[in-house]
Structure 1
Amino acid sequence: MKKEFTWRKLFNDIHLWLGLASGLVLFLVCLTGTIFTFHTEVEEMLEPGKYKVEVPANAVALSPDELISKLQQAEKGKVTALQIPQDPAKPYRFTLKKEEGGKSGKQEGEKAKQGDAPQAMVAGPAAGKGKEGKKGGPGGGRGKTYLVNQYTGEIKGTTEGPAHGFFEAVEGLHRTLLVKAEPGELNPGKIIVGGSTIIFVFIIITGLVIWFPKKIKNWKQGLKVKTSGNWKRINHDLHNSLGFYSSFLLLIIALTGLCWSFDWYREGASAVIGDQIFKQRSEKPLTSDLAGMALQKPTIVSYINTTDAVLPYKGNYRISLPADSSGAVVLSKSQSGFFTLQAADKVQLDQYTGKPLKVEKFADKKFNEKIAASVKGLHVGEIFGTFSKIIYFICCLIATSLPVTGTLIWWNKLKKKSAKQTAPTRKVASRV
């Protein structure tokens, strides 16, 4: 007898078949996302010799300019950016582009002025990699990130290492399933991941519809796991309740993740939000007044002091040095802590006079601008420091389990249905 059509059954079928179609890819994407959540902490834990420095009794650090001079002389290149952490036990980070083909850092800077070289970028967690995850080699990409003891000037190494290489592979699997493509070409792996993420959005929405019980009085059943039941009931409850609890954050992760997969989606989302997502990638520094070229340039400490006068709080600094003689110094500052909003304020300074050209405080931005600027933090879980990372780690772990528990639910129902269909045949045979 044909079953009567119901909207609930339609949503259940959509949820089931979309889940089965994308389950393997979503399992890999969610698993790699879970592993990648604490990649920075794991790297620092596995190689403490590089990522920690001994703080002397007087705790007086060498000037950034002196450290830059030492590093450039030792590595034969040009420092384009640096990071100064709030934690005195962590080393400074310098992004350095090595000379290539006999070109000095100064010559490359002049080339950048003419528009023939990429703009110097602010050093960050992704420093050491170019667009689409390319490593920055000598004279290419964004350069390498060097870890330097700010108290002794000792070069402790680069951010590259076994752990870093492992997490690069994890990130590659997460974004493109490790499928490589030439720059400018469509990456099939990225399309598959993006398509599966779109499917995941529909899976979450249909899952929420299915979660609501037929009878309102039974709504509490969807919030708990009946541990006294058999393994099939426990598996069903884990899928049902954990999926509900994590659905809101998983929807945010999926919707923000699509910004890396498809340009059309990112542009559409930017139009809806009312502000450009990832606009910092295309933003160019303001222009310094060339009339001050004859003056002696301020020190980096002077730039920092000027910024502190505008942003009077302790925090982490990311400083992008001018790529040519006309660019401004771009200094980003953000607070750190277990439960602290990880939003950077930005100040652009004239490289010759140190005068602030533009101040952008996150708190002063409009709500839609804050959302657009926070897309990366909302996707990777860094929006509220370690606290949000823990929450995201748990949600991603749940998301990894959902394709497994969902497939088991389908398999158990399939076996039950098969058993019912064969039962009458056995009964007739026994009577004969």
Structure 2
Amino acid sequence: MSKPKQQKTNWMKVRKFLNDIHLWGGLISGIVVLIVCLTGTIYVYNTEIRTLAQPKYFKVKADGEKLNPDELLAKVKPEIKGKIVGIKIPFADNATTSVLFTKKEKEEGKESKGNKGEPSKEKEGNNATASPKAEKEANKSEKSNEEVAKGNEVKSEGKPSKEKKAPAGPAGGRGPRANQFAVNPYTGEAIGDPSDEKTKTAEFMQKMFGLHRWLLLNEIEEPIIDGVENRKLGSWITGTATLLFLLGVITGMVIWFPNKIRSWKNGLKIRWTANWKRVNHDLHNTLGFYSCIILFLMAVTGPFWSFDWYRAGWQKTWGTYKSPDAPKEEKKPLQSVLPLDGKQPLSIEETILAVNKILPYDGDISINFPKDSLGTLSISKNRVGFFAPSAGDKLTLDQYTGEAIEKDIFREKPFNERASASIKALHIGDIYGPFSKLLYFISCLIATSLPVTGVMIWLNKMKKKPKAAK
């Protein structure tokens, strides 16, 4: 009869140990977690908020038939001050078509000096200002499929660099990031580049990103700690707090697990009729349980942008790690075959038909034009819909025949490569489009409340201890 008692005692010791980790980890990281989760809640809908602030660049009235894309490009070409490198054709009837272009070097230099904004990226094929240095650092390990498909979508977080990155180059690589010039696909009206218009909303979202990522330490010029960049310091603080939060999620699940099966029912509901202390306790435990999977995903991916060792560790676990010191493999550039009969390159409309034949599903298509007569067409296509995955498929086509020289189909990749390429999507919530965004938004709200309800539980217990001592 003593054995079960001994087992129970051991479990109670383990439970108390985990409870202490959960408590002190939460108390140490509480304020930072509160800030990170609150800003993260707002930032889940970064793309949508920015679009609402500049609707004319992204939405049009669906009226009649859309113009032929080749005719559309010819019509708007005189309005674009720069080199046209591609076109983005959305599937939605009420969305603007975007012409991808790179500005002249002199203009880019001026913008880099005067613009201190911090661009953003998510499935936001529409936001854009200059490409941020911070975004480049964050994405070094990621090269995810959705990035190229969304072209210029990440341009508002971090200090812009003089060198713009992006869409794909003629052979499927990534060249300088292009700006997007919005065009009405029905009338051919040149609407403009949204990055040329500064809005209070964009400024606010940039602050939210800076607060979420670096606690706004990136805006302090003088180093707080000698030898450590303030941006890096802020990243370390938020990364450490996120690791403690991750530990809290894991230990919280073990602590929540009831000793008896009949107690499960109580752990899955909030007793609103009880006193406020009990309601607060249930809010912390029950809401934490319902959101634990998404909170785990957010917390386990967050430190990827804070610690090199953490990112490298996960990549080694997945088998996708590439040492920065390792010699780069020199790939022979993909080329189109020059036709002997003098055949002209495919038109945009013919290219779209070729893409839809290879990838027969509804989606947004980005076409990056070849640089020369031997260059290839670099294509990205992203599915659309409420449950549409953020990762897209990529093709490299012969510019004369439309034949696929190279295919990069996301679903056909091994699981470890898909997981490695989806880190950002898993962290920000657009892994499955609007559906997962909604789940992440709700879970982020819950995560914001956990430090508050947790501290209140601790304070209530502290008040009871003196009474028990008396």
Does TM, normalized by the shorter one, top 0.5? yes
- Which of these residues, 258, 262, 287, is aligned with residue 334 of structure 2? 287
- When normalised by structure 1's length, the TM-score is 0.81
Residue 76 (str. 1) matches residue 81 (str. 2): yes
Residue 262 (str. 1) matches residue 287 (str. 2): no
For 1:6, give the aligned amino acid.
K
For 1:144, give the aligned amino acid.
N
Question: Would you say the 8 A contact 2:151–2:177 is kept in 1?
Answer: no
Question: Would you say the 8 A contact 1:94–1:123 is kept in 2?
Answer: no
Deviation at 1:211, TM superposition (A): 0.7
* Separation (CA, whole Å) in 2 of partners of 1:153 and 1:135: 31
Q: What SS does the corresponding residue of 2:177 show, helix, strand or coil? A: coil
Number of the residue aligned with 1:115: none
Deviation at 1:320, TM superposition (A): 3.1
For 1:20, give the aligned amino acid.
L
Residue 156 (str. 1) matches residue 203 (str. 2): no
For 1:61, give the aligned amino acid.
L
Question: Would you say the 8 A contact 2:214–2:235 is kept in 1?
Answer: yes
Deviations 1:24-70 (A, max 9, x none): 1111111111111122223333433332112222x12242x454455
* Separation (CA, whole Å) in 2 of partners of 1:35 and 1:233: 29
Change in 2 beyond 3 A, CA 1:40/1:10 = same
Question: Would you say the 8 A contact 1:68–1:79 is kept in 2?
Answer: no
Residue 275 (str. 1) matches residue 323 (str. 2): no
Question: Superposition pairs for residues 109-128 of structure 1, below 5 Å?
Answer: 122=148, 124=150, 127=153
For 1:127, give the aligned amino acid.
E
Question: Superposition pairs for residues 43-122 of structure 1, below 5 Å?
Answer: 43-57=50-64, 59-63=65-69, 65-69=70-74, 71-101=76-106, 122=148
Question: Would you say the 8 A contact 2:366–2:381 is kept in 1?
Answer: yes
Change in 2 beyond 3 A, CA 1:86/1:234 = same
Number of the residue aligned with 1:7: 14
Question: Would you say the 8 A contact 2:80–2:181 is kept in 1?
Answer: no
- Pick which of 187-196 and 160-169 moved more: 160-169
Residue 39 (str. 1) matches residue 77 (str. 2): no
Number of the residue aligned with 1:133: 158
Residue 253 (str. 1) matches residue 295 (str. 2): no
Q: What SS does the corresponding residue of 1:133 show, helix, strand or coil? A: coil
Deviation at 1:102, TM superposition (A): 8.8
Question: Would you say the 8 A contact 1:55–1:89 is kept in 2?
Answer: yes
Question: Would you say the 8 A contact 2:336–2:375 is kept in 1?
Answer: no
Change in 2 beyond 3 A, CA 1:125/1:297 = closer
Number of the residue aligned with 2:439: 391
- Which of these residues, 169, 172, 180, is aligned with residue 145 of structure 1? 180
Number of the residue aligned with 2:462: 414
* Separation (CA, whole Å) in 2 of partners of 1:411 and 1:216: 29
Q: What SS does the corresponding residue of 2:292 show, helix, strand or coil? A: helix
* Separation (CA, whole Å) in 2 of partners of 1:285 and 1:420: 76
* Separation (CA, whole Å) in 2 of partners of 1:339 and 1:128: 22
Deviation at 1:71, TM superposition (A): 4.8
* Separation (CA, whole Å) in 2 of partners of 1:375 and 1:415: 43
Change in 2 beyond 3 A, CA 1:67/1:163 = farther
- Structure 1 runs not aligned, ≥5 long: 104-120, 425-432
Change in 2 beyond 3 A, CA 1:245/1:324 = farther
Question: Superposition pairs for residues 210-225 of structure 1, below 5 Å?
Answer: 210-225=255-270
Number of the residue aligned with 2:282: 237
- Structure 2 runs not aligned, ≥5 long: 1-8, 109-146, 166-175, 222-227
- When normalised by structure 2's length, the TM-score is 0.75
Q: What SS does the corresponding residue of 2:267 show, helix, strand or coil? A: helix
Q: What SS does the corresponding residue of 2:291 show, helix, strand or coil? A: helix
Aligned residues with identical type, % of pairs: 43
Q: What SS does the corresponding residue of 1:13 show, helix, strand or coil? A: helix
- Pick which of 228-237 and 310-319 moved more: 310-319
Question: Would you say the 8 A contact 1:82–1:94 is kept in 2?
Answer: yes
Q: What SS does the corresponding residue of 1:180 show, helix, strand or coil? A: helix
Change in 2 beyond 3 A, CA 1:148/1:16 = same
Question: Would you say the 8 A contact 1:128–1:142 is kept in 2?
Answer: no
For 1:180, give the aligned amino acid.
N
Change in 2 beyond 3 A, CA 1:342/1:78 = same
* Separation (CA, whole Å) in 2 of partners of 1:80 and 1:314: 24
Structure with bigger gyration radius: 1
